[in-house]
Amino acid sequence: MDCTACRDVISAHLDDEAEPAEVEAMDAHLASCAECRAHEVRLVQLTRAVRVHPAEDVPDLSAAILGQVDPGRSPVRVREWARYGLVVIALTQLLLAVPELIMGANGADGSVHLEHHLGAWDVALAIGLLVAAWQPERARGLLPMALALGGILVATSVLDIVEGSTLVVAEAPHALELAGVVFLWLLTKRPHARRVALT
């Protein structure tokens, strides 16, 4: 290997592009050629100077970013309040449903069997709300059923009130289910990315 070929292999070797046979021939030539060894030293120093340099200054944008955050509308805070709301609603639902489930609270006016079924449904919904409050990632799975329940309850309640078969006060407990739907919806909302001005 002559000096010109050796210096080409030195450059390729520094870029990890030389073949093993070329590196072996380069090493043999460098062992006997002082000028190529000196060339290799200069080339290594130049490569290090080009590749290794101080990191460029990065502007501190933390103040601009934090200035765009509205703590009063933080998605995390809304989700936390939704979880607390679900716990309150679920516990209230349980307090109202357990007597109906166990004793058939309105058994004198209607079927005890029907009261048991309604009580079981209310207890199941309360447990679902508690699970959603405990594990918010499950709220999305419960939301369609809760939306269907809330919509049907609103429709039937309005019809019953209009026909005069019930009073508004008698339908008030259904507000719990509707509130539960709202809190579930808030819990499943994904925060939207806000555009931050970094100027």
Whole-angstrom Cα distance, residue 179 to residue 34? Answer: 86
User: What is the structure's pLDDT at 194?
Assistant: 46
User: What is the structure's pLDDT at 75?
Assistant: 60
Point out the least confidently predicted range of 13-22, 106-115, 188-197: 188-197
Point out the least confidently predicted range of 70-84, 118-132, 171-185: 70-84
User: What is the structure's pLDDT at 69?
Assistant: 53
Q: Is the pLDDT of residue 33 over 80?
A: yes
Q: Is the pLDDT of residue 129 over 80?
A: yes
Identity (one letter) of the amino acid at 85? G
| Cβ neighbours of residue 4 closer than 8 Å, sequence gap 6 or more | none
The answer to whether residues 183 and 89 touch, using CB atoms and an 8 Å cutoff, is yes
User: What is the structure's pLDDT at 195?
Assistant: 45
Mean pLDDT of 112-139: 82
User: What is the structure's pLDDT at 116?
Assistant: 72
- Range 135-142, long-range pairs (CB < 8 A, 24+ positions): 136/79, 136/83, 136/187, 139/184, 139/187, 139/188, 140/188, 142/184
Mean pLDDT, the chain, integer: 77
User: What is the structure's pLDDT at 55?
Assistant: 61
User: What is the structure's pLDDT at 8?
Assistant: 87
Q: What is the pLDDT of residues 133-173, one digit of tens each?
A: 888 888 888 888 888 888 888 888 888 888 887 777 767 77
